[in-house]
Amino acid sequence: MEPTVGFLHEARQTKYPLVYDLQEPYRWLVDTTVVSCLESGRFGKKDFYRMDNYVLRLRREAARKFIDALRMKFNPPVLHKGKLYSWDTLIQLKAQEFAAYILGKRAGLDFGEPKPILHRTDSEAIRSRILSMTMTEARKLGIGRNTLWYLQRRAGSDRPFAIYSKVRRRILFR
């Protein structure tokens, strides 16, 4: 397999589009890690710096924290074809399946399996707690009127919604 030839990404000097093509089905692992790090308060303003072109970058210490969180995301066992694998091993297996497919040694290819299991922050317990909360209770928890209105409106629908970790902790643990 030639890493400078890709199917989804275009070739550029010093880039390896095939590597980017193979990582695409698993990008969600990184994306969900970023979201959970931000929601949990693992990163603050001090962990970023702004480049001249207004792009934000992680400071070295924060990047180390992120890599640790990413390692934790890649380690849990995942059931695939009756066996347990870590995500990094599974990605390697999928790359090998892809190579066998390209060489004609395999009839089909399925990057959709195993499916990711994503955990939502808006469980039924939280929804019912939010819907039953009075303004007096919310005030005691340090939740403002507008926040309560937003949460109750979102909890009343069946669509997923975000709850900031700070507010979620107040709702659950008080």
Is residue 57 within 8 Å of 51, Cβ to Cβ? yes
Residue type, 94: K
Q: Using alpha carbons only, what angle is made at residue 65 by residues 59 and 69, rounded to the nearest 5 degrees?
A: 140
| Structure confidence by residue, pLDDT tens digits, 115-125 | 776 666 777 88
Q: Which residues contact 163 (CB under 8 A, 6 or more apart)?
A: 121, 122, 126, 151, 171
Q: Rounded to an integer, what distance in angstroms lies between the CA atom of residue 119 and that of residue 59?
A: 28
Q: Rounded to an integer, what distance in angstroms lies between the CA atom of residue 2 and that of residue 18?
A: 7
| Structure confidence by residue, pLDDT tens digits, 33-57 | 888 888 777 888 899 999 999 999 9
Q: Look up tokens 């929804």; give the residue.
A: 127
Model pTM above 0.75:
no
Is residue 69 within 8 Å of 42, Cβ to Cβ? yes
Q: Rounded to an integer, what distance in angstroms lies between the CA atom of residue 50 and that of residue 101?
A: 44
Q: Which domains, from first to last, does the chain contain?
A: 17-102 (1.20.120.920), 124-173 (no CATH)
